[in-house]
Structure 1
Amino acid sequence: MFRFLRILQTAALMGALFVARAPAVDAADTAPPDPVEDLRAATSTDATITLAWTAPGDDGKSGTVSSYDLRMAAYKILTGEELTAPIVGGEPDPRPGGETQTMEVKGLKIQTKYWFVMKSQDRAGNIAKFSNIAMGETKLDTTGPLIEKVKAVDLTHNSGRIVWVTHEPATSELNYGETEGYGQRALASSLVTEHSLPVGGLAPDTTYHYVLKSIDQYGNATETVNMTFQTLASSTAPIIFSGHTNAQATASAGPPKPAASIVFSPTTINLKSRATWMTAVLKMPAGGRAGMKFDALRVNGTVKPTQAFAASTQTVLNRYGTLWLRFRRADIAALVPYEVSALILTLTGETATGTFSAAQTLKVANNITQAEWERQQALKKEAFEKDKAKRMSAVQKQIDALKQQLEALMKKFESLQAEQFPL
């Protein structure tokens, strides 16, 4: 009997220790964090608003909360209706209580008012009240596109191309001629960031003047200063690649050699497609196939081909002038901005002859607006929070059941102890 009691005493001691520790998981912290009291729009541009606030404490002004929940709407958020405002997402990790925090909200419409409200949550799952409601307004865009990386490429004795880039989508305009009076013009009204306009009907071995102009979607224009390029003499073979002036070769005059070209498949980027791959066939001119640097191939400067290139790939390229490429469809789809119906895909690379580029315009199907994207992100976040709450509830039930078992064991032990050792 005494051995049995000793076993019960040991079990009770272990149970008491567990019970003493268990409430730390679920009962030590039931107080919500303090609400944010000074949410404000600190700065703004034509497409962003930077918010600032003082981080709340987990307990009063001290400690650090676990996460933030920021909401935003293009209408005035009323007190008591904060939960109906869309979730922004991408909130920063909380700082210790009392420190200043900031967050830049991007992708906003020009000259538009937005209202913001936020709340925080601690590690015990306690949720603070919503903050004050802050309002910010994006600015009117009055700055013209930045024109840079201007080059005259693919020059021959009678033609060539002028290329440049802008930091935002804009139109393309080129005026050129043998004097600063110009006289000839090339135009493209589509809004792009990578610009390319042809120049033709030129005279051999002649200096040409040109000026560029780009206009963004808000009518802001930028025009360059006068620049020049010179055509080749009629006895000089065309330059197909830029980057190596010693790659020119003398030859009899003739028509310009073709530059690199590319054909993607499929020719439509369907954003709802479940396909895994997109392919492309690159065609290289005879004079520029050797020494392809396969690891330098990029689509729009970021997306790399997925396949491994063997030594025999260069042999095939040298012989036939074609290179088969494969890309992840999701990587290409990620290049598509909101609300566009077409996208220019430009493959760039380098061979022993110099750098090259080849472009193709693809249609875009099933694109969405920014508002729809934000709605989808809000639904994903809401589903995640619901799943998280469900899992936490299941864990809590298991802890409660174990506590009940231990409490029953303690009561049974106390009852046996009273029977064996009556006062």
Structure 2
Amino acid sequence: MQGLLNHGGRGNLKCLIAVSLFLCWSLVSTNLLAGQGGLEAETASPNSIALSWTAPGDDSTVGTAAQYDLRYSTAAITDANWNSATQATGEPTPGAAGTHEVFTVAGLTPSTNYYFAIKTADEVGNWSVLSNIVAKATTSEITPPAAIANLSAGAATSSTVVLNWTAPGDDSLTGTAATYDIRYSTATITEANFGSATQAVGEPAPKAAGSAETFTVTGLNPNITYYFAIKTADEAPNWSALSNVVSKATSVETTPPSTIATLTAVSSTASSVTLNWRAPGDDGDVGTASQYDIRYSTATITDANWNAATQVTGEPSPQIAGTTETFSVTGLQSSTVYYFAIKTADEVPNWSGLSNIASRPTSAEQNPPAAITNLSTGTTTSTSVILNWTAPGDDGSTGTATQYDIRYSTSAITEANFGGASQLVGEPTPRVAGSAETFTVTGLTPSTTYYFAIKTADEVPNWSALSNVPSKTTLAESIPPAAITNLATGNATNTSIVLTWTAPGDDSLNGRATTYDIRYSTALITAANWNSATQVTGEPSPKSSGLSETFTVTGLQNGTLYYFAIKTADEVPNWSGLSNIPSKSTLDQIPPASIQDLSGIPGNNAGEIILFWSATGDDGYSGLAASYQLKYGTSQITEANWSSSQTYANLPAPLAAGNLQTITMSGLTPGQSYYMAMKACDDAENTSTISNLLSCTAKEGVLADDEYQAQPVSPAPGELLRSSHPTLVVQNVTSLSSNYYSFEVAADSYFIDIIALSPPVPQGEGAVTSWKISERLAVDQIYYWRAKANTFPYSKIASFAVQPTAHAYPNPYNPAVAAGVTFTDLPDGADLILMSVSGSTIREWSNVNGNELAWDGTNQSGRSVSAGTYLWFVRNSNMKGKLVIIK
């Protein structure tokens, strides 16, 4: 090419030949535009920012440019990241150089800082350099979309409902919102429960305000009433209030999936068979069904035996109608013919008919897993050892085996004794060949050496050879179980009480303890008396820590308060501390035994009957009853008329079982025959059965003349006597010296327990007759006495008591004045001890005969005692006193 170029300026280029014209034009067009200047960010809204600048020229600052490229970013814009900034759309066409340009960038996010820059191009595509960079933040969005008020429910199927509404705006009813949140529930929806309603999936993007919207909610259940509501959000997001709530019932689903007729068994292994079939639909051959039920059996499958066939697990979810489905049934036995069938259900569920029956045999399995060769022991505690090994395969070292058999023993394990070693439970399921396996053997005994071995099986099962046999010694156990703190008593019967508590651990509150020792007592249990408390039998084996325990203690006594406690031991055994001590009484359900020896005699006075009986117990013949009931009347008394029979009050309190009791019934009709019966009651209001029936006649009126009835003179009624051999005195009934008197002394007022009887005593001279009791009377007891002259009536009954004191005479004692000290009114066979005030024994007399004892003032060695105060007492009685010696 040949040409001539004039460098005088743009536009003066002359081309010599036509081919040069294109080159000339290109050279002219390479003059760069001036860089853009004066870009400013003006006002901002939540979604837009207004920009302004001065238009550059086509050639630097002259002419009119061809286009703008305005870009923005949330990071500062440079030449390096210009291409990754977001290009605005709808930029204005450049005005003449110097024109004031304005443009609003829309579609921005509220509350976000943006950076802006511009480049300008001429008509050839020469671009200016990067403008200045301005930054501006959009304002916050505060106006939410308006609440939808015309939500309605349209057409419905068994699983869908069509919703219709008018789109609100971005700001109330203006603009275009960003998001819908459509929810449904089987209960009416409110602002309070909107968040817990089910959210629909695939909601449409909101259209411009005022547009008609429609959406189909799917996945619903047939014949159910659903409630629907919508909330709308702008880009902030600001959420609208809740829409109106509409409801619609889905229709009833009745069409089942079609029956599968294409089931085939295409391949098999020793433990699996692969099935293929063509998927039916939800309704016949249309849509997508909900579930498959695949079953197999070693006999052909029919509708009659379908339920007895084995159901597989992990069936695939049905695909759309017409899709080819495949599934492998695993866990089968090798060399076995299996039959397979399928039923299909929709969401109701409506079930299809039984498919065609496919069959296929599994292949034979002969290759066992490889023997484990790297079994090793790891971390050890007092009761556990961790084992580690590498998983073998299903066939040698390939695939995944089916099960492990891990065993341990306190002696070396061999192929010969493997079956006799202890088998573990909970072994892990084998992982794929080559994987690291670990297992913790628990329940071991501390300080014991154990040997471990494993065999592995495939699904046949073909068993591997024995693994290597490592050994490990468990650590010594030192941590006892924690003390139980919530032992409580529950339901009780008359012989049992239920206990509950929370199981502690083997080590404090961890693990599982070995033994409980449960004890009970009728006294509070402490650590000091634990060994003397009664140990129960048949305590439960402890459960794992934290689980609830219960045990019923049996063989208890009726109506008795018991205290309970527990200690817990581990396998060492290390024993826990003592538990808390609850208490509870057994129920009192055993009534007193019935009285069988009720008897009676006429009383001493007219209209009296004296009754006698032996006391029964609280429970049968044991313990002490609480009260008696006495019924009497002129007709026989039975259980039937017991309540209506007349009751006699003021009965004595029951004595201990077996003791003789008596009462004098008074106020009866003299000479009248009466029937009497009794019952005994305990504190729990358990009542005995009726006693033997007694018939007795009340004493008739006294016919003797009162002037011939002896009158007691001494002791006076209720008098306290100091003598154990008192003298009884009565007034003579007449002046005849031929009268004889009889005296009686008894321990009871009915004169059943006679203590002393006089021989006939001649009448004494003067006005009275007396008789001294020869028998020695015990102290601290009340005695009753009476007397009669000849065959005249007895005197009135009088009482007295023997005072339990004795006197030493003289007191004080001066040896120069008196020969000794005399102790009087001593019981027969008494042991008397004389002591100093410091507690030393001075003199002791044993088995004293008679009522009195003389002391000559000497000690046990025969030496005279010193002057001073001395103490004396009679053993096994409350007779005691002081004695002063003066010298």
What is the TM-score with the length of structure 2 in the denominator?
A: 0.21
Whose relative contact order is higher, 1 or 2, with alpha carbons under 8 Å and at least 6 apart? 1
TM-score with structure 1 setting the length: 0.39
Q: Who wins on radius of gyration, i.e. which is larger?
A: 2
